[in-house]
Structure 1
Amino acid sequence: MEECISDIQCNVALNCPGNQQYSTCHGCTVPCSDRDSPEPCPRICQIGCYCPPGTYLLGEQCVSRQQCETAQSCPGNQIYSTCAGCDVTCSQRNDTIACAAVYTPTIFVSVMNNVMFAVAEDCPGNQVYSLCASCDVTCSQRNETIACAAVCRQQCTCPPNTYLQGDLCLTNEQCDAAAACPNNQVYSLCAGCDVSCADRNNPGPCTLQCRQQCTCPSGTYLYMEECISDVQCNVALNCPGNQQYSTCHGCTVPCSDRDSPEPCPSLSNWLLLSSWNIFTWRTMCF
């Protein structure tokens, strides 16, 4: 500069934050938010750090009008920097990332800590982490009016215009497809190839491509349109005569009792299939 200042003033000048400048006689610094309607500034010389004419204060930085507009459009909780480095994603936070030391006015993420990163990485299905989540609406609730308290929640949630189905966030069309899944099949955004009971010990080749469709849960096999376990496949493939296998049937009536069948209990022999958490009736041939 070209000013002569005292030792105390030197300390102030050398510690001006950001790219602010020191002056022994400056006016008022205008923040970005007030750039179109600045407060009146009294004609008094002030000693201190300030933004040069034609710039506005953003945090501790002096930025142009255009940079103010860019900063106001930063998405989420990102903030604007006049000299940002490289953004590191959650999955990269423990890696050594090469970043070119280039002066780059840009926006960058700054608010998530390691605990939030860990939670974000564990979001199930295709859910995303939000610092201010609302209430998730399920596929079955999407046409209803759901009361939701106006409270920000830091949690995994569904992106806008999607609905929760199990751990997945589905579009309206995908919700309809999921509701039409037959029997105990489930909807998947990235299904592989279903293996039938008959082919379970010698499955055919499956092309490596995601399929959005109804499918069998992991560890189960397709029989007719039902997904059953390996043990159930053994029973199904060995049904005698022309009997059929079912995971939910009533009582088989012999010819001799066809005119006066025995009572058939309606709530007996429940079996919990823990592999995909559903209850079913007797599993046998009939």
Structure 2
Amino acid sequence: MNKKEGIFGYIFISPWIIGLLVFTIGPIIFSFILVFSSWNLIGPLKFVGFENIYSIFNSTFFWSALRNTAFFTLYVPISVILSLIVAVLMNRIPGSSVFRLIYFLPSVTPAVANAAVWIWLLQPSYGVVDNALKNWFNIQGPGWFSDPNLYIPTLMMISIWGSIGYNSILFTAGLRSIDKSIYEAAYLDGSNAISTFFRITVPLISPTIFFVTVTSVIWSFQVFDLAYMTNNGVTSYYNITLVQYIYQLGFQYFHIGEASALAWILTGIIFLITLFELQAEKKLVFYQ
């Protein structure tokens, strides 16, 4: 390749490089500077050292948001197990493409629309779920989004419903990649269905299980739209999540430095959890 071709090559990729610098690398560097600064979007930056970090760790809202987000993350193993069960069933039912499409619809529907539907279904006064409980079982439905003890479990339930379709598609692809001769050999050796599932199927699709688990955990720590829609942006100790707290600090109170500090703290939390998962991968994941 001559010099002229190299110049044209750089010209062609320059829009992508400029976009990467302006919209990705630049904001990351600037947000790191803001961690050690005080800024309200209007006035000049003021260096404050580690004051923003100290303020975050001394905030009771931060610890409540961390607790709520960690609790919400517990939906991941439930979602993974149910998605795997659905994928196994769909893989054995002839003509199951229609069912896979139905299960996948919540994944392609905007999260805001999904949240709006569930808010309508779970309304205490006219919601379908509470009316069914009252008419069929004579049970007064709880405050799904107002009860401090039910708010996070309700978000978990909605997230499980919304994630099963996408996860089951991934698991179905993993199941279909397994060589059928392996199952035939297992059955010839006298293996039953349960033993075959846990000793052959699960190990062979463990890379898919690992991928789904890691991505789901990362998403769960970044949950915002579902929480914001269900609490109408009015936060309390029982319903605030980490990303919603970042939004509150940055765009409601205009404490940009504290919001940036919390964003980097969240990044560190996700990094440590992902690092732990990668270490566990060496013992739990089997690659053919």
Higher strand share: 1
Q: Which has the larger radius of gyration?
A: 1
Please state which structure has a larger fraction of its residues in helix.
Answer: 2
> Relative contact order (C-alpha < 8 Å, sep 6+): which is higher?
2
Q: TM-score range by the shorter chain?
A: under 0.3
